[in-house]
Chain A
């Protein structure tokens, strides 16, 4: 039984982590493509149109990867988490089915129109297709987050005698207080990823002295979007999420902040330290007193519960993982803000394009935006433990009763092998597109 749960969790974690590499780029990138297309409509300068089409190529590859790794996610609810699906399917099935029915086809049909149809329609309509791709991908994220929000903070349900959860109020699924902050934070975070990717392709061209004109355009656009989104991801949206966790999942909050003991007057904020689960304390700690209380409640002396206030079985089962994930996300977020502010300053002073150390910095940081997004999700998902549906349904009660651990391990190994291949091919393909660079449209009229 124990190892059944372990492999089920590992398989879900592995496949969702891999899946989420792709949507986080597409969601943000679709907005930047809309921006390029809009600039083109306003200025009629071809380079904006080339940029939009160039990034749509990268988008398309990521979209395909998102689709083929997303179908296994949908299946796994049934294959690995059958009991969970049976009990709660009447509720989360709503939001998941809406995603499948509304968003995906919106996105894929207008993507096809954008790529194949430019010659068939006016530029205004072409802009509209880009806009609809953007709406489709954000709607997809919205419905998925509504699903997740229900698991984090269940609303609008009733539990029958046979243990089944039935929906009693549809609109509450969407007015869930967990949903809006999580959605906004998540979308800003995916915009951070995409801005860094756009900027770093620009930096790559400038450093490699190829496609210089496009390099400047990408860098500038990426830096402006990156600066705004890095700020928004921390404040107000990150802060807002943290307040929600403190309010609705206090045990997770204590664990992710690394607070072992409740302090009477004001909690300190931990900057560095390693959780020591044997002695229930933080080793090598560096902390600033009272800040956490202020950040969470705007009150320097407000008491915050530490992990000592909760029963063992209510605490997340992987406290160090949760703690590190949270600190990595916030740490990286701070670095992103720092680097993007510097870049904005140089851009304003018109020195950005020649300042190579900063270009290198942006380029090397781009992969870490993925790390920040994924660790952010680990905060959410490890923090939800030991529950599948917070406070109601334990993770151990959600697995498929008939699927043995040997079978799950077999499929997990298969996924690892297949996704490795997929990852290598993906990199080759995107590398090829970037290497080829944007192509100016041959003037036909």
Chain B
């Protein structure tokens, strides 16, 4: 049952990053590359029409996580208190930007909300990446100091940063140079994903330029990925052991690298949707490989006093997980149907569509 819920929640959250990922990415593209008013309008729309239906996956994933792994939910949400609240503010700010931009035809008004949308998309991508970085780096569970826990063994609290900005310090913060690298990787991945989305869904004038931008970003991504793996191995020599022990897990990193390699051929790819699938692979592979490297741990402890959080020591009761299975299956199937209907309805380029707003 734990494994079922772990997989189901991972899939739902991965869906969230794939779907909302493209509108975060569209925000990043919008911030850096959109110059003309038509492009800005259409790119903002390519995100604005979809963000709320994409956030369904976040709400569903969050709720399921709370239900199935309450101890994990409690520990991580209170431990990462500040970045999570910042993420909430950014989500709200971004939604305001998207929803309010079009309501008054006044240049300053539009500029403000364009910036709000772009900057908050960028920061969200960075924060989500850093969150992943923090999870794989691990935290000082129990706030151990000199061999003594300050709190119960499954609680912790991280400040935003520690003045050394080093993952090797005794008290690392949310932001250190390792998590920052992962954050930047996430920004690049989502920018690529967003660019593919813009190409797929709009006729904006920068579409042809975006392909070379994707190509260049992809180079940066390959370099950073390799670098981050080396760093990760350096700060945690056991980081990749799971893949040695269970070789079939290697399928997940293969997805990721498959995505990278495929994207080098971006200019040759005929169908835009195929390029979009490749960046989807990047996100899917990235998330699943990180999870697979930890499994069954979900939050490693960096001290030897308290044990890491796993899917077993944080799960709700067996009875609770099993009754939830019954309604959960129905709910998940409905989610998939919902997703298909949504895609059908919104298929095609949005500037050719009459969307009545």
User: Complex Cα distance A402/B82, Å?
Assistant: 12
Of B33-41, B152-160, B257-265, B298-306, the one contacting chain A is B152-160
Q: Mark A413-445, 1 if CB is under 8 A from B, else 0.
A: 010001001100100110010000000000000
Contact A74 B62 (CB under 8 A): yes
Instruction: Tell me whether B85 is interfacial, beta carbon within 8 Å.
Output: yes
- Taking CB atoms, residues of chain B closer than 8 Å to A170 are 323
Known contacts A64-B95, A89-B70, A90-B316, A101 near B78 by CB under 8 Å? no
Q: Is A67 an interface residue, CB under 8 A from the partner?
A: yes
CB contact under 8 A between A112 and B53, given known A78-B73, A101-B328: yes
Residue of A nearest to B327 (CB): A98
Known: A90-B70, A116-B345. Is A108-B52 also a contact (CB below 8 A)?
A: yes
B313-339 vs A, Cβ < 8 Å mask (1 yes, 0 no): 000110110011001100110110010
Residue B307 at the A interface, CB < 8 A? no
Q: Are A89 and B92 in contact (CB under 8 A)?
A: no
Instruction: List, in ascending order, chain A residues with CB within 8 A of B243's CB.
Output: none
B67 touches A402 (CB 8 A): no
Selected contact of A71 from candidates B53, B59, B68, B327, CB within 8 Å: B59
| Contact residues in B for A404 (Cβ distance below 8 Å) | 157
The dominant DSSP class at the A interface is helix
Tell me if A236 counts as interface (CB < 8 A to partner B): no
**A84-99 contact mask (Cβ, 8 Å, vs B): 1 or 0:** 0111111101101111
Tell me, rounded to whole Å, the shortest Cβ–Cβ distance linking B99 to chain A. Answer: 6
1/0 contact string of B48-79 vs chain A (CB within 8 Å): 00001101101110111011101101111111
Give how many A residues have a beta carbon under 8 Å from the other chain's beta carbons: 61
Contacts of A89 in B (CB 8 A): 66-67, 70-71, 73-74, 316
CB contacts (< 8 Å) of A79 on chain B: these are 77-78, 81, 84-85
B53, B81, B151, B317, most chain A CB atoms within 10 A: B81
Chain A residues numbered 103-120 whose CB sits less than 8 Å from any CB in chain B: 104-106, 108-109, 112-113, 115-117, 120
Residues on A with beta carbons closer than 8 Å to the beta carbon of B60: 97, 100-101, 104-105
Interface residues on B, range: 35 or more
Contact A94 B91 (CB under 8 A): no
B99 in contact with A64 (CB, 8 Å): yes
**Separation of A445 and B356 alpha carbons in the complex (Å):** 19
B32 at the interface (CB under 8 A from A): no
| Cα A406 to Cα B328 with chains together (Å) | 39
Task: Choose one: B55, B96, B151, B152; the contact of A425 (CB below 8 Å).
Answer: B96
With contacts A104-B60, A402-B151, A429-B103 taken as known, whether A418 is within 8 angstroms of B89 at the C-beta atoms is: yes
CB of B91 within 8 A of CB of A68, answer yes
A69 to B95 alpha-carbon distance, docked (Å): 11
Task: State whether B62 touches A100 (Cβ < 8 A).
Answer: yes
Residue A75 is within 8 A (CB to CB) of chain B in the complex: yes
Query: Is there contact, CB below 8 Å, between A94 and B67?
Result: yes
How far in angstroms is the closest Cβ of chain B from A397? 13
* B70 close to A401 (CB less than 8 A): no
The answer to whether A93 touches B67, judged by C-beta atoms less than 8 angstroms apart, is yes
B95 near A116 with CB under 8 A, answer no
Verify if A276 is at the interface (C-beta below 8 Å from B). Answer: no
A108 and B77 contacting across the interface, CB-CB below 8 Å = no
Are B66 and A108 touching (Cβ within 8 A)?
no
Tell me whether A85 and B52 are in contact (CB under 8 A): no
Contacting pair B56 A108 (CB below 8 A): yes
Residues of A within 8 A of B157 (CB): 402-404
In the bound assembly, the distance between CA atoms of A89 and B77 in angstroms comes to 13
Q: A78-B77, A79-B81, A108-B53 are in contact. Are A90 and B59 (CB under 8 A)?
A: no
A102, CB-defined interface residue at 8 Å:
yes
Does A168 count as interface, using CB distance less than 8 angstroms?
yes
Whether A71 lies near B320 (C-beta < 8 A) is no
Nearest CB in chain B: distance from A411 CB, A:
5
Kindly state whether residue B100 has any CB partner on chain A within 8 Å.
yes
Q: Quick check: B89 and A105 within 8 Å, CB to CB?
A: no
- Give A64 to B79 CA distance when docked, in angstroms: 29
- With both beta carbons as reference points, the residue of chain A lying nearest to B87 in the complex is identified as A75
Counting CB contacts under 8 A, is A77 at the interface? Answer: yes
What string of 1s and 0s marks CB contacts (under 8 Å) between B132-175 and chain A? 00000000000100000001101111000000000000000000
Shortest CB distance B161–A (Å): 14
- The distance from the CB of B163 to the nearest CB of chain A, in whole angstroms, is 18
Q: B155–A101 contact, CB under 8 A? A: no
| Residue among B62, B88, B99, B332 facing the most chain A CB atoms (10 A cut-off) | B88
Distance, CA A94 to CA B317, complexed state (A): 12
Are A97 and B64 interface neighbours, CB within 8 A? yes
Q: Are A167 and B319 in contact (CB under 8 A)?
A: yes
Nearest-neighbour CB distance to chain A for B184, whole angstroms, equals: 25
- Chain B residue numbers with a CB within 8 Å of A80 are 78
**The one of B74, B81, B341 that contacts A109, using a Cβ cutoff of 8 Å:** B341
A122 part of interface (Cβ distance < 8 Å):
no
A residues adjacent to B (C-beta < 8 A): 64, 67-72, 74-75, 77-80, 82-83, 85-91, 93-94, 96-102, 104-106, 108-109, 112-113, 115-117, 120, 166-168, 170, 400-404, 407, 411, 414, 418, 421-422, 425, 428-429, 432
Q: A71-B55, A116-B355 are in contact. List 8 more A-B contacts (CB 8 A).
A: A67-B59, A85-B74, A101-B64, A101-B331, A102-B334, A167-B316, A402-B157, A403-B157
The 7 closest A-B pairs by CB, nearest first: A89-B70, A78-B77, A100-B63, A93-B67, A90-B316, A97-B63, A101-B331
